[in-house]
Amino acid sequence: MADPLDGLDAAGRAGDNPPSAWPPVALLLLLAASLGALLLGLGWAADGPLRVPDVAVDTALAAQRSPALTGLAEALTTAAQPAVGVAVGLLGPLGLWLAGRRGTAISLLACAGGALGVSYLTKDVITEPRPPAQLWAIAPDSVWSYPSGHTTVAGIVLVALVLVTSRRHRVLAAALGIVLVAAVGWARIYLGVHYPPDILGAVLATATATALIAAGAAAITGAARAGAGLPVRAAERPR
């Protein structure tokens, strides 16, 4: 059986030297490592020097509560509960797979699973307690506060919107996703079950996982194209 790299070698001998996929992969891995370091560093600060100002922010928001705002915050919390993240991460890829968008389906499945995994692993590493119980408008659904699981779910929805939307409407989809992330983050702080750094930590957790998945996709795409004797590209984004 012929070596699958023969086609690439032949292209090189013919003077066609395609760009390597590895520089973008390395940059994506560096980005993921940097985001992960920020995630852990912010978690350390949230569980230490930022605690006093964070409690002050939550206390100030608690003083501004009203029935209407509390109802809105509770609705946003329900819309971004972990079960929603699991549903988006499983049913979304299933629908995309059945529609023939298998690459996008795999990307969404990996990003959703990765974001939830990074978020909950970070919770167990940082072990930041929740805000004081007297600030709670609702009972929290887990012991640890950093990062916010609900905001991570909102981040997964943002990634899903960007992945499934055509390039023409991708900026609008991203903007809607960012609004959702901000709204859910506000709701969790307003309800007294999270601190501000918990929200940023959720964004960092989702971004870290997404960068790792993008690096893996770039590496797999490059290896597949090299094996087929085609010019190597960093990654193919879904249309």
The reply to whether 208 falls in a domain is: yes
The reply to whether 227 falls in a domain is: no
Q: Which of 112-116, 149-153, 166-170, 201-205 has the lowest mean pLDDT?
A: 166-170
Q: Which domain holds residue 89?
A: 22-220
CA distance 127 to 47: 8
Domain count, the chain: 1
The reply to whether 138 falls in a domain is: yes
The reply to whether 4 falls in a domain is: no
Q: Is 70 exceeded by the pLDDT of residue 154?
A: yes
Q: Is 50 exceeded by the pLDDT of residue 237?
A: no
The reply to whether 11 falls in a domain is: no
CA distance 224 to 177: 32
The reply to whether 238 falls in a domain is: no
The reply to whether 90 falls in a domain is: yes
The reply to whether 7 falls in a domain is: no
Question: Cβ(238)–Cβ(163) under 8 Å?
Answer: yes
Give me 160's structure tokens: 């899903």
Give me 183's structure tokens: 């709204």
**Residue 134 CB neighbour total at 10 angstroms:** 8
Question: Cβ(88)–Cβ(157) under 8 Å?
Answer: yes
Torsion sign (Cα): 131, 137, 139, 142: negative
Give me 70's structure tokens: 């509390």
pLDDT in tens, 180-229: 999 999 999 999 999 999 999 999 999 999 999 999 888 887 676 666 55
Q: What angle do CA 12, 235, 161 make, to 5 degrees?
A: 170
